[in-house]
A and B are shown apart, each in its own frame.
Chain A
């Protein structure tokens, strides 16, 4: 599989179809993989693919520094491929200028597996409900896998369990979570869909979102971050992985994803033709909550 991946990328670079391959590199099987940008055919030996390749590389496609490298090829898993669909829908990428190499994925490792523990137990939360083991809409597919077992009963089951708590308990939970936030904005930086050149939180005339890392500012930021991704978040959970404070941002993303699906039958990143939730409307939209 890795040899085929390297061979494919070598061909792409040698024929000049692409100038750079955005993929995963790894120094040692025990060390975490990191993103690599391969620009010469002789360097394709760096490329790897395994269940530790958690990162969603599509976040680099919209970066100035990466665009400067020329026409890209990118290695994506099923979940990452969804980000491409949203980026294209929002006119952020020209899909015809990108070679997308999809890899069959049976799930990636979520955290650090404990010794003696079944490795499946360490599968990332998103993989337990994944329904895109074979990435859709890619140019080259490598590897094969069956649709894969969806191990959780329902893709929103984690959210359901959380929502069983009372509002007071939920408030207390988030207060504890947000208290730890240090406003490093890693959640924003890593997100493939947070591509604004100037984020609303960086605008200070006037200041819309309190920028201090106080609890008040943290609430304002996390509400803003989550809602700017409403109906857009594809659930790659990179924000949750990147968070140094371990804040469970996934729950917020899930709640908005479920609202979009239940009310509008829309799931971000699945249908390139579907009308986006925000920016469109229907006269039939529910308004039972409006007096």
Chain B
């Protein structure tokens, strides 16, 4: 039995898969700080480091669900703190529109999270990951999208 089937069939032992696209300069360092400070957070998150939130193509969010994510987090620098001056502003605007599209498609919006986490906010990183994990655990696996991906 593959791991995916295992997760789907045994509700009690469901461990959510969360993919986090984070910016190299803020959230990734925030995660690093959480680590060096020994702040524990759930191991359900898979961190993918990108240069900037402005680099996060909307296709990556779709891709995350395609490969079996139950929730996606996109996180970067607070407004005004972008290493490249304005990448996060561009990203914010894109997400505003993209969320609307996903909502129209009936994608569960509770599974897509956006946050700003700075390099100094190790504790916020810990909290965000814990909250998302807990929330996703309660929602259960994202069966609807998994079915889409399994259909021929």
Contacts and interface: CB of A to CB of B under 8 A. Distances in A.
B59 A281 contact: no
Interface stretch (A32-40, A57-65, A137-145, A258-266): A258-266
B115 interface: yes
A279 B97 CA distance: 13
Contact of B148 (A216, A279, A286): A216
B101 A285 contact: no
A8 interface: no
Contacts of B96: 259, 263, 285-286, 289
A220 B149 CA distance: 10
B60 to A, nearest CB: 9
A44 B25 CA distance: 62
Interface in A131-179: 159, 162-163, 167-175, 179
A12 interface: no
Q: Which of B95, B97, B108 has the most CB of A within 10 A?
A: B97
Interface string B119-148: 000000000100000000000000010001
Interface stretch (B9-17, B30-38, B40-48, B85-93): B85-93
A223 B116 contact: no
A215 B105 CA distance: 14
A72 interface: no
A251 B104 contact: yes
B89 A170 contact: no
B141 to A, nearest CB: 15
Contacts of A230: 94, 97-98, 101
B151 interface: yes
Interface majority SS (helix, strand, loop, mixed), chain A: helix
Interface string B70-90: 000000000110000010011
B107 A281 contact: no
Interface in A218-260: 219-220, 223-224, 226-227, 230-231, 251-252, 255-256, 258-260
A233 to B, nearest CB: 11
B103 interface: yes
B149 to A, nearest CB: 4
A21 interface: no
B59 A214 contact: no
A95 B59 CA distance: 33
A105 interface: no
A175 B114 contact: no
Contacts of B151: 179, 214-216
Nearest to A291: B115
Contact of B66 (A179, A210, A259, A277): A210
Given A214-B152, A251-B104, A220 B95 contact: no
B55 interface: no
B106 A256 contact: no
Contact of A219 (B99, B113, B128, B148): B148
Interface string A192-208: 00000000100000001
Given A175-B148, A227-B98, A285 B92 contact: yes
Nearest to B99: A289
B39 interface: no
A290 interface: yes
A162 B108 CA distance: 16
29 contacts: A162-B104, A171-B106, A171-B107, A172-B106, A174-B105, A174-B106, A208-B59, A215-B149, A216-B66, A216-B149, A219-B148, A230-B101, A252-B105, A256-B97, A259-B97, A260-B97, A278-B97, A281-B93, A282-B93, A285-B93, A285-B96, A286-B96, A289-B99, A289-B114, A290-B95, A290-B115, A290-B116, A291-B114, A291-B128
Given A167-B108, A259-B96, A281-B89, 8 more contacts: A208-B63, A220-B63, A220-B66, A258-B100, A259-B101, A260-B97, A285-B96, A291-B116
Lowest 7 CB-CB distances: which A-B pairs, in order? Answer: A170-B106, A171-B106, A281-B89, A259-B100, A255-B104, A215-B151, A291-B115
